[in-house]
Structure formats: structure tokens, C-alpha cells
């Protein structure tokens, strides 16, 4: 209820202000006449109208050409900077990927080295531990899979552990790397009880 009354007051004050303003029609008529009361408009002939039209069209064409030129310039500058940013990003992402790969490769080589040290000492479970970690870095690498199955086979032979894992991994290696069959057959001979 209270809100409706305040709105009515605002509307009525706006109407009152509108009536106080001068009519716009009177202002337009005053602008058309000189101070002496004569009209400032001249009547033009057809030729003058055509010349004025041509002049206006020429100016419009000129303005359009300028606007198109500015638009092309702005677009080309924007495109140039966008392409440069994209090139820098691709170079950056490529170098980042190379660095990540090198880090993974270094980690992989360190884990293999530790596994090889334990393998030479005859500690099969420790070598299996490091080889499994290295396998997590590069899953389908033949060298690490071969070393892991070799450690499994020695562990199976001496401690009777991980024999089934050795057999499964060896079967996968025969399937994944058929060209390395000669090396894998040597390990298969150690796992004769599993086959």
C-alpha cells in the first residue's frame, strides 16, 4: 500500500515537470528562421541536388574505405600477435614435454641401475622391487620387462616365490616381443615347473 502511493507521487511530479518544458516544435521552427524571420533554407535545382548526392556518396565511400583499412590493420595486428603467442606456447609445451620425458628417463635409468645392483648381489626381491617401479615409468619397455621376468625366475628358482607372476609376464613378453624369443626361451627353461 505504501509503495503504491509513493509511485503515484513520482508520476505526478514527472508530468508537472513535462508541462513546464517548452514544446520541441517551437524550438525547431525557431531554428529554421533567421533572426529577421526569413527561412534559411534555399531551394536547390536538380543539378545541385545531384552534385550534392554525388559528393555525399564520395565521402561515404571514402569513409568506408578508411574504416575497412583500419579494420584490416587492426585484424592483421591482432592475428600477428595471436600467432606469435600460439607459436611460443607450442614451443614451450614441446620443451616442457621433452624435459618431462628426460626426467622420466633419468628416473627409469636410476631404478634399473639399483635393480641391477641388487640382482648382482643375488637379492631377487629387492631387484624385483626396483624393476617394478621402473616398469611403472615405462610399461612397454622390453629391457625392464626382461629384467623383471629374469628376477622373478631366479626368485622362483631359489625361494619359490612369484613363479606364477614370472610365467604370466613371460607369456606376455612372448606375445609382445616375438623377435626376442631366443632370450625369453632361456628364462622359460628356468620356469620348467610352471609350464
pLDDT tops 80 at residue 19: no
pLDDT tops 70 at residue 28: no
3-state class (DSSP) for residue 21: coil
What integer pLDDT is reported at residue 144 of this predicted model? 92
Q: And the C-alpha cell for 116? A: 641391477
Which pLDDT tens digit goes with each residue over 70-99? Answer: 999 999 999 999 988 888 878 778 888 899
Specify the DSSP element, H or E, that contains 47. Answer: helix 46-121
Domain range summary for the chain, segments of one domain joined by +: 102-190
Across the chain, what does the average pLDDT equal? 84
Residue with cell 617401479: 133
Look up the CATH number of domain 102-190. 1.25.40.10
Out of 19-23, 161-165, 182-186, least confident range: 19-23
Specify the DSSP element, H or E, that contains 43. Answer: none
Which pLDDT tens digit goes with each residue over 166-179? Answer: 889 989 998 998 88
Which pLDDT tens digit goes with each residue over 92-130? Answer: 788 888 999 999 999 999 999 999 999 999 898 999 999
pTM (2 d.p.): 0.54
Amino acid at each position: 500500500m505504501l509503495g503504491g502511493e509513493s509511485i503515484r507521487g513520482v508520476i505526478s511530479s514527472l508530468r508537472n515537470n513535462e508541462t513546464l518544458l517548452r514544446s520541441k516544435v517551437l524550438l525547431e521552427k525557431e531554428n529554421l528562421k533567421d533572426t529577421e524571420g526569413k527561412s534559411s533554407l534555399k531551394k536547390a535545382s536538380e543539378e545541385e541536388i545531384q552534385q550534392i548526392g554525388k559528393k555525399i556518396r564520395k565521402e561515404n565511400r571514402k569513409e568506408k574505405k578508411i574504416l575497412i583499412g583500419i579494420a584490416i590493420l587492426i585484424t592483421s595486428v591482432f592475428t600477428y600477435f595471436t600467432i606469435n603467442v600460439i607459436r611460443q606456447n607450442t614451443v614451450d609445451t614441446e620443451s616442457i614435454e621433452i624435459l618431462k620425458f628426460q626426467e622420466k628417463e633419468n628416473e627409469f635409468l636410476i631404478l634399473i641401475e639399483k635393480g641391477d645392483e641388487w640382482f648382482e648381489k643375488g637379492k631377487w626381491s629387492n631387484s624385483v622391487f626396483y624393476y617394478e617401479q621402473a616398469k611403472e615409468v615405462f610399461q612397454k619397455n622390453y629391457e625392464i620387462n626382461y629384467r623383471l621376468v629374469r628376477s622373478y625366475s631366479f626368485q622362483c628358482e631359489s625361494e619359490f616365490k612369484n613363479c606364477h607372476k614370472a610365467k604370466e609376464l613371460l607369456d606376455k613378453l612372448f606375445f609382445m616381443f616375438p623377435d626376442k624369443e631366443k632370450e625369453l626361451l632361456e628364462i622359460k627353461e628356468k620356469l620348467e615347473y610352471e609350464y
